[in-house]
Amino acid sequence: MGSYGVVIFDNDGVLVDSEPISNKVLADYLTELGHVTSYEEACRDYMGAAVHRVHEVVLERSGQRLPADFDEVLHRRVFEAFQRELTPVPGVASVLEKLAADGVPYCVASSGSHERIRVALRKTGLYEHFDEERIFSADDVGRGKPAPDLFLYAARQLGVCPERCVVVEDSALGVEAAVAAGMDVYGFAARTPAERLRSAGRLFRDMGELTALLAG
């Protein structure tokens, strides 16, 4: 794992295979509200972002504010879909087990709310790999990705300087945030087009490859 002091995992699309579920729910809800959005557009514009970005983009494009209960309704619909459909990213449990066996510190830093992170980790059986001190949310800092705040906060809480952190991300916004934080970043291109992750130092498509990359 070289000289890294901690491996920082994004949650959605890296630990749990949630991006297809959550982006479809988001696209359907925005369309229902009159802001016609396809699944592809939701992935392009919002994947990896905190929900405040949805409000900002819709206001900028339409001049209209989303309903006051938008976040609450969206989260409820996403949680319900998670309970029906959510699975872990194939191979990620083995990666976490190997890191733990080798004594390599790791954490999760997600644009999702603390509740959403825990719902997802519990549903997929990954929660047992994380203690509460290693779960970080954009809620903790106020500004989500692409701002670097969340990754810098996670590093600070774990006592590791940014240049000794490596981030595992699957979204363009997440890669941008990690680069802005001065951290190395590996782009997970299983579902994301590789060209959208081109700012990452390394790209990989199978989670089984990550252990070797970290050791390299």
Task: State the angle between helix axes of 39-46 and 19-32 in degrees (0 to 180), rounded to the nearest 10.
Answer: 110
CB atoms within 10 A of CB 177: 30
- Answer yes or no: is 48 within a domain: yes
Last residue of one domain, picked from the residues 56, 85, 114 = 85
- Please indicate, yes or no, whether residues 10 and 113 belong to a single structural domain of this protein: yes
Tokens of 25: 């729910």
- Please indicate, yes or no, whether residues 59 and 133 belong to a single structural domain of this protein: no
- Please indicate, yes or no, whether residues 11 and 24 belong to a single structural domain of this protein: no
- Please indicate, yes or no, whether residues 146 and 181 belong to a single structural domain of this protein: yes
Q: What is the sign, positive or negative, of the torsion defined by CA atoms of 141, 143, 149, 150?
A: positive
- Please indicate, yes or no, whether residues 140 and 130 belong to a single structural domain of this protein: yes
Q: Tokens 């699975």 identify what position?
A: 87
CATH number for 38:
1.10.150.240
Tokens of 154: 């996670």
- Please indicate, yes or no, whether residues 100 and 64 belong to a single structural domain of this protein: no
- Please indicate, yes or no, whether residues 164 and 95 belong to a single structural domain of this protein: yes
- Answer yes or no: is 204 within a domain: yes
- Answer yes or no: is 206 within a domain: yes
CA 180 to chain centre: 16
Residue 122 has, within 13 A of its CA and on its CB side, a CA count of: 9
CATH number for 122:
3.40.50.1000
Give residue 1's pLDDT: 46
- Answer yes or no: is 1 within a domain: no
- Please indicate, yes or no, whether residues 112 and 75 belong to a single structural domain of this protein: no
Domain that holds residue 74: 19-85
CB atoms within 10 A of CB 132: 7
CB atoms within 10 A of CB 101: 8
- Please indicate, yes or no, whether residues 76 and 93 belong to a single structural domain of this protein: no
- Answer yes or no: is 14 within a domain: yes
Last residue of one domain, picked from the residues 35, 63, 85 = 85
- Answer yes or no: is 196 within a domain: yes
Q: How many domains does the chain have?
A: 2
The model's pTM: 0.91
Residues contacting residue 52 through CB under 8 Å, at least 6 positions apart: 144
Per-residue pLDDT of the chain (216 residues; tens, 9 = 90+): 456 999 999 999 999 999 999 999 999 999 999 999 999 999 999 998 889 999 999 999 999 999 999 999 999 999 999 999 999 999 999 999 999 999 999 999 999 999 999 999 999 999 999 999 999 999 999 888 999 999 999 999 999 999 999 999 999 999 999 999 999 999 999 999 999 999 999 999 999 999 999 887
- Please indicate, yes or no, whether residues 143 and 210 belong to a single structural domain of this protein: yes
- Please indicate, yes or no, whether residues 115 and 179 belong to a single structural domain of this protein: yes
- Please indicate, yes or no, whether residues 128 and 151 belong to a single structural domain of this protein: yes
